[in-house]
Amino acid sequence: MKQFILLFCIMCCSAQAANKPASKEQCRKWQQQLDKVNTELRAGYKTERGNKLRKRRRELQSKLHRRCRK
């Protein structure tokens, strides 16, 4: 039972930290990275590289949406 409670507390703290607002500087860096990924996607790529770029784009968009909205 104690292990379950400990696990639950860790999960709650992790979820709260993941939604904590990011600094303006961090948001700016994520936006720059997203812009770079989008540029690469427009330039053309092989299948494997395209999959990696789209995955990275989804991750960055998610971070920006969750942590950088005003």
pLDDT of 14: 45
For the chain, which residues make up each domain, given as ranges? 24-70
Q: Which residues of 41-66 are buried (b: 16+ CB within 10 A; e: fewer)?
A: eeeeeeeeeeeebeebbeebeebbee
47-67 and 24-43 helices cross at what angle (nearest 10)?
150
How far apart are alpha carbons 10 and 64 in whole angstroms? 24
pLDDT on residue 45? 87
Is 37:57 a contact under the CB 8 Å cutoff?
yes
Instruction: Give 10-residue mean pLDDT values along the chain (70 residues).
Output: 54 57 96 98 94 98 92
pLDDT of residue 12: 52
| Dihedral sign, Cα of residue 48, residue 43, residue 32, residue 58 | negative
